Structures are given as structure tokens and as C-alpha cells.
A and B are shown apart, each in its own frame.
Chain A
Amino acid sequence: MEVSLSMPSCSPAISCQGVTKSYGSVFALRGVDLEVPEGEVFGFLGPNGAGKTTLIRCLLNMIRPDGGRLRVLDRCPEMDSLAVKAETGYLPGELNLDPALTVGQTLTLFRRLRGKSVAPRQVDVLAERLQLDLGRPIRHLSKGNKQKVGIIQAVMHEPRLLILDEPTSGLDPLMQREVLTLVLEAKARGATVFFSSHLLSETEQVANRAAIVRAGEIVVSGETSDLLKNALMRVNVTLERAIAMEVFDRLPNVWVMANRSNRELALQVRGDLDALLRALAGHGVRRLDPVPVTLEDVFLSHYQGVTS
């Protein structure tokens, strides 16, 4: 089957406006608004059940949203699904392969399903790179090795859009790094990568932008660097003299996370430390250790009921 490939455009690779989806009485997506510019690596963060996979499956027309508007590569995924799928590589979150086939047979099948856009050599190169034995039966593979098969089939045709649902799940750290390298390579050749994860460290490594989804809603979205900059900072403080907790009630951007005898405190601070330092000044600050903010902190701040 031949599907014409369109030239990259200025419009976003993925655009979601007010997308809703429910399963009976369970709301999986509650009006998701999201835009992923072309050529970017976008991290879609959230714990299991937050709605990540549901949104991805809507993007690929496997399920239909109840409401809202979806565009993928400037096309409607339902009306123009062939063109969308021709230019997209997809790795499902729950990868299940035919256990009766070998790795080689599986990848040959996927290569043929792609049509003429994939050279057999391309599959061999990727398999070698991910240290995958093509002769092994799928049923004998570990979860990590199956995941490698999934990754190869997703990237082998060098798609314009890569949608990866938890791509490093089940992989050892070395292979995780290799997969993230593949993601960066895809970005380098101009592809857009949309990947969901609950591993924040990997998102931090590769994503230009990220969104955090909670109970079907995007709670925060933006440049990864901005998310880190605006995030809560953790500060561990050791004082010579005890401090009254009421002091912190008067500081709007400081929260006490842990307290030992009113002298050893773990605090979360938003913005600069001026107000905090002034409040601590009369209590003999022995140590003050700001802990570097990670995307993990940003993520957790949205999941521990700390409002932004």
C-alpha cells in the first residue's frame, strides 16, 4: 500500500484541545489540552492510571475520545489514520508479541507491514546495536528483550513522529541509555518524539518539554528547564536554637516537610530564599543545604497535594 508522505510543516506534531474520554463512570481524560511542536522530544509524565496510555491510544485511533479535538501531524487521526500511521512509529506500553515467531520473523513481519519503507539491513543494524539475537523465539525472551523488539519496530522506518509508551520499561540501565540515545538521534534527524514515562530521570535527560498528567488532567506543562526552575526546592536546615513552627505559617512559599525537635528541618521552598533566610536569621543557622531540584520533585509536588 502506498501512502503519500507529506513534508514537515510548522503546525504542531500533536495537538489536543479539550480531549475527554471515559470508561463508563471512570474519567480517564478530563479535557486535556496539549501541543507538541514538531522536532521536539516531549515527556508525558504520570503514574499508572493517570491517563497517559489512554491519550496515546486516542492519538492512534485505537479508541475514540468522547469529546475535544485531536490532530496528529496536522491530520485527524480518525479520518486520516493511514497517513498518520505511515509516518508514526509506536511502542505500546503493554507489548505483546506472537510467541510462535522468532525475533527475526517478528521483525520481518513488521518490516513487511511497513511496506517498502524499511530496508532489511536497517533491522539488522538496530538488532545488532541493541544486542538482540534474531534467531531466538519470542517466547524465550525476557521482558527487556521483548521491549527491544518493540523499540526496533517503532524506529526502523525512521518515522516523523515517534510515540513511545514507557519505552525503557524492563530494560537494564545500559539499554535504557541506548534507547534514550535512539530518541535523541530521532530528534537530531528532525523527528518528534512523544513519550510517556513515570521515570522522571530519563525525561529530564532527553525531553525539551514535558507535561504532568494527574487523574486525566494536565496539571503542569512547559519547557523542562522552566518546570525545574519554577519547581519547589528542598532545603535541609540545621539550627542551633529551636524555632517556632508558626514562623513558617507566615511564609507563603515555604512548607515544612519534616521536623526534628524544631532544629533540624526539611523544607520545601518556592522561588528565592530571601524570606526564609530572614526568618531563620535569629536562630543560628548551622547548616543550610539546598537539594538540587529534579523533575522528580516537580512530579511529586503535584502528587503530594502541594498546590502550585
Chain B
Amino acid sequence: MSATFFYMLRRYRLAIVFWGLGLAAIGILVVFMHESIADKQKVMERIMKGMPLIIKAIAGDVSQFVTPVGWLHLKYFFVLPVSFGVFAVVSGSGLLVYDEEQGRLDLFMAYPLSRSQLFVVRCASLASATFLMVAIAWTGMSVALPIAGLGISPSGIILPFLSLFIIITFFQALSLCFSFVLPSRIIAAGAAGIILVASFFLEVFVKVEPKLMVFAKLFPLRYYQGGMAIHGLDWWSLFVLLAAMGIALGLAWRLFLKRQIRVMGEGGFPGRS
């Protein structure tokens, strides 16, 4: 199993470096940008007053984003699931189905590794790669925070990054599950991506239209705390996300156990044989 784990981790090595450094760079930038608006609450409020509701919703509450915690939440942690979510849905949907579509899974499955072991070890390798990316991002922000003097310690942002890690792994699990139900990896990634984007916009619009809350509660980002986790984790939200992830993973595992591994030319890819 270790051979498969390290092989998969090797496959993610570029993603780990580029996503990790990218997230870290954005984090550092956001931390240092706070200084430019920190003492301009009145100016910002005046500017935002004339803006349409939708712009206000997207920009966030001025009184919130002038505070260090509010700033990090609105400008970094709140938007990150959408950009980092691209990696989540692509990597999740491709965890096993990518190799299947490439015609490589046959060979891996001919080795003495059960389907459950293959599933678990690949999930573990993806979770480890995601963890390393988040860790690099945390390290970057941890270096910047004391220099920028935001009054937040590196240990203070562990929980927001943990919250980020969990929402990303949730979307990986969801797109993995979709990849076994939908006809192709691309469609699975697209479906999970639509849920991600819909969830994000619901979270934006719910600020201007509270009636949307009933729908927002059905979507995963409602249970993502982001930067607000600096004040402590909301255990209920965490439980909902972990439970949903568990269900998605459990379903994906069952589907993989039952799956007829497709190969081109054998009728598995309709219209392409």
C-alpha cells in the first residue's frame, strides 16, 4: 500500500508546490493589504453607501472587513474555497476515474491490492497532498502576520486553515462520489463545481436576501467557517461537514466496490468503442 501512496503523492507534487505557494502568496498579500484600509472605515463606508446591494454583498460588510479577523475572512478564507475548489473538484473526480479513463486502472487493479485498499490509499494520498498545500499556505501567512502586526498569531489561524482543509476535502469526496455516478470525470468535476459556485453565491446573496437562507442551509459553504474560526470552531458546522463528507466517501467506496472498470473498446465508454 505504501508504494501506491507514495506514487500518488509523487503525482501530486507539482500541485502541492504550485497550489501551496500560490495560496501562501495570496495570503501574504492579503495580510499586508490590510494596513491600507485599516484606518479608513469611514471613507470605505461612504464609498460603499452609494453602491448597489449586490456589490455591497460581494464586498462584504465594511465594519467587518476593517477588523483583522473580518479582513482575513472576507478577502481570503471566504473566497478561497472557490479558487482552491477548482483543485478539489478536479482532483476528487480524477482520483480513480482519471486512471480508468486513461486505461491505466486495469493494470493497477491486477496487483494484489483489494478495491477497498486501493480506494483508501488513494483517498489518503489526496488528503495528504491537500494537507501539505494548506500547510504551505498556513506557513506563508504565519510568516507575514507578525511582520504586518495584525495582532493575530500563527497559531490563531490554524483553525481557519483546518476549516479550509475540511471544506476542500468535502468537495473532493463529493466529486469522487459523482465520478462513479456520472458518465465521465469532466462531468463529475463540473457537477461538483456547480454546487461549489452555487453555494458561494448563495452565501453572498443571503446577506442581502435573508429568505435565501433556507436554500443556503442545504449547501456546504453554509457550514464552512473560514476566517471566523479564529474565534473558535463551531462544532455543529464541523460535524455537518464531516458527516456529509463521510456519507459521500462511504457512497463512493460502495460504488467503487461494485464498479465495472471501464476500458475503451469494451462497451464501457458509450460511443467511443
- Is the CB–CB distance between B263 and A57 below 8 Å? yes
- B residues within 8 A CB of A100? 11
- Is the CB–CB distance between A113 and B4 below 8 Å? yes
B83 at the interface (CB under 8 A from A): no
Known: A1-B1, A82-B112, A96-B102. A109 touches B7 (CB 8 A): yes
B37 at the interface (CB under 8 A from A): no
- Is the CB–CB distance between A85 and B110 below 8 Å? yes
B: number of interface residues (CB 8 Å): 29
Query: Interface segment, B87-95, B145-153, B264-272?
Result: B264-272
- Is the CB–CB distance between A90 and B110 below 8 Å? yes
The interface size bin for chain A is 35 or more
Q: Give A residues with C-beta under 8 Å from B.
A: 1, 3, 23-24, 26, 28, 48-49, 53-54, 57, 60-64, 81-82, 85-86, 88, 90, 92, 94-98, 100, 109-110, 112-115, 150, 153
Known: A28-B266, A90-B107. A115 touches B112 (CB 8 A): yes
- Is the CB–CB distance between A63 and B260 below 8 Å? yes
- B residues within 8 A CB of A110? 111
Q: Select A53's contact among B1, B102, B263, beta carbons within 8 Å.
A: B263
In the bound complex, CA of A133 to CA of B265 (Å): 31
Contacts A60-B106, A95-B107, A96-B102 supplied; 17 other A-B pairs, CB < 8 Å: A1-B1, A1-B112, A1-B117, A3-B112, A26-B267, A60-B109, A60-B110, A62-B109, A63-B261, A64-B260, A82-B112, A82-B113, A90-B110, A92-B110, A94-B103, A94-B106, A113-B4
- B residues within 8 A CB of A92? 103, 106-107, 110, 263
In the bound complex, CA of A90 to CA of B106 (Å): 9
Q: How many whole Å from A267's CB to the nearest CB in chain B?
A: 37
- B residues within 8 A CB of A113? 3-4, 108, 111-113
Among residues of B, the one whose C-beta sits closest to the C-beta of A92 is: B106
- Is the CB–CB distance between B102 and A114 below 8 Å? no
- A residues within 8 A CB of B2? 112
8 A–B contacts, CB within 8 A, in A order? A1-B117, A24-B270, A57-B106, A57-B261, A60-B110, A81-B114, A113-B112, A150-B107
